[in-house]
Amino acid sequence: MEDTQDDEPGAFLLVNDIPIHFSEDWDTGIGGGLWSTGLAFAQYLEHRSEDVLVNLRRLALVKKYSASSTRWHGNYEIDRNSINDDNSNERLHRHEIKEFNGISALELGSGNGFLSACLLALVMSDENSNIPLTELAITDMKDHLPLMFKTLKANSHVWDTLTYDDGEHSTTFDGTSPGNTTRPVERPMQQSPHVILAEHIWGEFESTNINTKTNQLHNKKYDFIFGTDLAYRNSLHDSLISSLLHFSHQHTLCLIGVTMTDTQPIFFDRLTEEGFRYEKLADHLLEREFRGGNFGLIAIQRR
Ligand SMILES: C[S@@+](CC[C@H](N)C(=O)[O-])C[C@H]1O[C@@H](n2cnc3c(N)ncnc32)[C@H](O)[C@@H]1O
């Protein structure tokens, strides 16, 4: 796929003016290239950044104040006028978020690391540095980890510390080291998410890995779970849903990009059977090329 922006040499995409660099490598396997919903999701982050930031802040509010409204809000301008039972929107505006506990995020089936790099850019671009994302775990099967690491290394300007667990060794890197990619925004270290790159095979939670970070990754709940083109075969549905169940708590928001021609309706039936509810974000929130029914961003939550 060609670079999509001319303004930043070599940038694949700009998220709030922060360049994200990416080179596909299909030799890696099925996730070595960027799938269409991966691009649709990235462009949603790019063009709807304020909506996404507000939703992430809302997750932190839910944690702190048990606010009642936790569904993914597609259009912030509309929601701002319609919800006010817990004062949460007012708090969102007053940027009180700095006092909140952080939220954690998990990408499933990342393949290439691109989408997580875009999310990190979005968080970093927040002018008030008040998205309390403290941890981002980026996962796939072991054979995809080197490409994911390559993408994250090419974008060290959007993270501060990253632990890469290749299955044998766990090494922590410093994104602020001299020689790394240029940082567009200086932020206090304590407000930057720690990034963990490690294997997670859906439905498998018993880790034989001796690395503590990877074991921690498998033994916790996440506030935001995301991924694209994951449910592309019926045989994957049960293990994927079992990971969603394992890693989610009552208020977790999952945002999953789906290609409808690959993902059969039975996936949604299985989600419902397992106690989730889901909602497709309105088509107009996606870029024009992804509208019309074949691509969708699906917000999934426990009932
Ligand atoms: C169609 S690719 C999508 C890659 C990327 N998310 C994108 O949209 O460009 C599906 C990804 O899911 C991963 N995957 C498939 N089955 C998996 C499983 N059982 N456990 C973990 N990852 C899996 C593949 O390795 C691959 O990276």
Tens-digit pLDDT profile for residues 176-186: 877 788 777 66
Cα radius of gyration rounded to whole Å, the chain: 18
Mutate to test the pocket of ligand 1, among 1, 30, 267 (most ligand atoms within 8 A of CB): 30
Q: Could you tell me which residue, 87 or 213, shows the higher pLDDT? A: 213
In a domain, 5, yes or no: no
Residue 36 CB coordination number (10 Å): 16
Tell me the residue range of the domain where 266 lies.
13-302
Tell the residue number behind the tokens 């045989």, with chain if given: 235
Mutate to test the pocket of ligand 1, among 13, 20, 140, 267 (most ligand atoms within 8 A of CB): 140
Buried/exposed 116-133: b ≥16 CB within 10 Å, e otherwise: bbbbbbbbbbbeebbbbb
In a domain, 6, yes or no: no
Pocket, ligand 1, Cβ cutoff 6 A: 29-31, 34-35, 37-38, 109-112, 140-141, 144, 201-202, 227-230, 232, 236, 239
Q: Could you read off the pLDDT of 185-205 as tens digits, one per residue? A: 666 544 668 999 999 999 999
Question: Angle, nearest 10°, between helix axes 36-47 and 114-125?
Answer: 0
In a domain, 121, yes or no: yes
Q: Which two tokens stand for residue 108?
A: 């499933």
In angstroms, what is the span from residue 273 Cα to ligand 1's centroid?
A: 23
Mean pLDDT of 87-93: 51
Q: Is 40 exposed, middle or buried (0-12, 13-18, 19+ CB in 10 A)?
A: buried
In angstroms, what is the span from residue 232 Cα to ligand 1's centroid?
A: 9
Instruction: List all residues 6 or more positions away from 241 whose beta carbon is below 8 Å from its beta carbon.
Output: 270, 271, 274, 276
In angstroms, what is the span from residue 291 Cα to ligand 1's centroid?
A: 23
- Which segments within the chain are labelled E, that is strand? 13-15, 18-20, 103-107, 133-140, 161-165, 170-174, 194-199, 222-228, 248-259, 276-280, 295-302
**Residue 144: which CATH number?**
3.40.50.150
In a domain, 258, yes or no: yes
CA separation for the pair 8, 3 (Å, rounded): 10
In a domain, 124, yes or no: yes
In a domain, 262, yes or no: yes
Domains contained in the chain, number: 1
In angstroms, what is the span from residue 53 Cα to ligand 1's centroid?
A: 25
Ligand 1, atom nearest to 112 Cα:
5
Least reliable range by pLDDT among 68-72, 219-223, 226-230, 247-251? 68-72
Q: Which two tokens stand for residue 66?
A: 């048990």
Q: Which two tokens stand for residue 47?
A: 């063009």
In angstroms, what is the span from residue 109 Cα to ligand 1's centroid?
A: 4
**Phi and psi of 275, rounded to 5°?**
95, 15
In a domain, 1, yes or no: no
Strands 295-302 and 161-165: unpaired
Q: Could you read off the pLDDT of 35-83 as tens digits, one per residue? A: 999 999 999 999 998 888 888 888 887 776 665 556 777 664 434 433 3
**Phi and psi of 280, rounded to 5°?**
-85, 130
In a domain, 21, yes or no: yes
